[in-house]
Each structure stands twice: as C-alpha cells, then as structure tokens.
Amino acid sequence: MIDAPWNIVLTLLFVFTGAVCARELIVRRGRPRTQSGVSDDAVIDITHLVMSAAMILMLWVMVIDAVTWAQVALFAVFALALVPAFRTSRDGAARISLAGHVVLDAAMIWMLAAMPLLMSDMPMSGGGHAAHHGGMAMAEPTPTPVWADVVNGVFIVLCLAVALWWAVQLVRVRGHRLHASCHLLMGAGMAAMLWLMNA
C-alpha cells in the first residue's frame, strides 16, 4: 500500500516500537504485583504493541472492512481505558503524556476509518499487476475531499506534537529512555504514515 522505501523504513520502525512494548510487558510481568488489574502503563504498552502490529499490516495489506472496524472499536476501548487516569494523576507531565497516548489512539482510529478517503486518488485494482496484462480496468481515482485533507493535517500536527513531547522527555528525564524513544518514534511514524497515505 505504501511505496518503497517508506514501507520498509516504517516496518522497521514499528517492529522496534512493538518489540520495546513487548519487552516492557514481559519485564513488568516478572515484577511482584502491587495492585490488582491492569495498570495504566500496561494498557499503554498493550496499546502501542497492537498499534505497531496494525501499522505494519496496513503498510503491506489492504485490510477488509470487518477487520478495520474491529480495530477501530479496539483502539476506542484503549483510549477510554486511559481516561480514568486523568482523574487520579496529580502530575502535569504525566497528564500530558496520557493525553499524547489518547491522541495517538484517536489518530489510529482516524487512519483506519478514513483510509479509503485518504487514498482515493491512488489507482486501485483488485487484480494487482493483472490490470496491466489481463486488460482489467483500473478503478478511477477520485480526489480526497478537502475536509478530509484538513482533518488529516490536524492529526499529522498532533502526532508530531506527541513526538516532540517525547523528544523533550528523552532529554529531560533520566531512565526509561528506550521507552521514551519508542513513544517518540510511534508519534513520528504515525505522522509519516498519515502524510504518505494522503500524499
């Protein structure tokens, strides 16, 4: 779906983010439990692990509608699961970080739901290369609606703002730099994906 070399670059990026989150989940599982249920940190890592896998899938495969809407519902659940943390957190930086994760969930929902609009000006064919050899007609490209371009631009800016926030945290906060790098790359990678889908 995304042309080379960006499909390879972004695949490697999202393999990295997924691996970091999977590692964090494994490490956290080995620690003694101090509370019941799933922590906010675990929800965030699960979210980014699933998000990384979904992004890799979108880079290479045109996902069918049922799978797309199942993913939309899943990321909506992930976003809502973080809302209670805003009430319990007293730290301003922690709240901004939580907001950033919710923004990335919202951007993922937009990307999944708006994919047909964002890529509507790209020639599509169910027969792939057969369109050139078998005489199959290519679907007529149509321009992306202006409102979709605008909304997509807003989400690109928001994802870049999330990446910038984590870049600042990478410099400011000691420890957990691998995790901060993961979130930085997730924001930047999602911004790049939204831009490439709409380019």
Coil, strand or helix at 139: strand
Tokens of 121: 């000006």
* Residue 127 is assigned to a structural domain of this protein: no
Q: What is the C-alpha to C-alpha distance for residues 165 and 172, in angstroms, rounded to an integer?
A: 11
What type of residue sits at position 55?
Answer: M
* Residue 134 is assigned to a structural domain of this protein: no
Tokens of 19: 């691996």
* Residue 132 is assigned to a structural domain of this protein: no
Counting residues of the chain whose pLDDT is more than 90, the rounded percentage is: 55
Give the model's pLDDT for residue 122: 61
pLDDT at 197 over 70: yes
* Residue 46 is assigned to a structural domain of this protein: yes
* Residue 84 is assigned to a structural domain of this protein: yes
Choice between 120 and 181, residue whose per-residue pLDDT is larger: 181
* Residue 105 is assigned to a structural domain of this protein: yes
* Residue 131 is assigned to a structural domain of this protein: no
- Find the DSSP H helices in the chain: 6-30, 40-60, 65-88, 92-118, 130-133, 146-172, 177-198
* Residue 33 is assigned to a structural domain of this protein: no
Nearest 5°: the CA angle 123, 113, 70 is: 120
- Output b/e per residue, 156-170; b: 16+ Cβ within 10 A: bebbbebbebbbebb
Respond yes or no on whether the N-terminal peptide bond of residue 145 is cis (omega within 30° of 0): no
Residue 139 bridge partners (DSSP): 124
Give the model's pLDDT for residue 38: 67
Residue 105 bridge partners (DSSP): none
Whole-prediction pTM: 0.84
- Domain range enclosing 23: 6-28+39-120+143-198
Taking a C-beta distance cutoff of 8 angstroms, is the pair 190, 159 a contact?
yes
Q: What is the C-alpha to C-alpha distance for residues 102 and 17, in angstroms, rounded to an integer?
A: 17
Task: Kindly report, residue by residue over 38-90, the tens digit of the pLDDT.
Answer: 688 899 999 999 999 999 999 988 777 888 899 999 999 999 999 888 888 77
Choice between 16 and 171, residue whose per-residue pLDDT is larger: 16
How many structural domains are present in the chain?
A: 1
Length of the chain (residues): 199
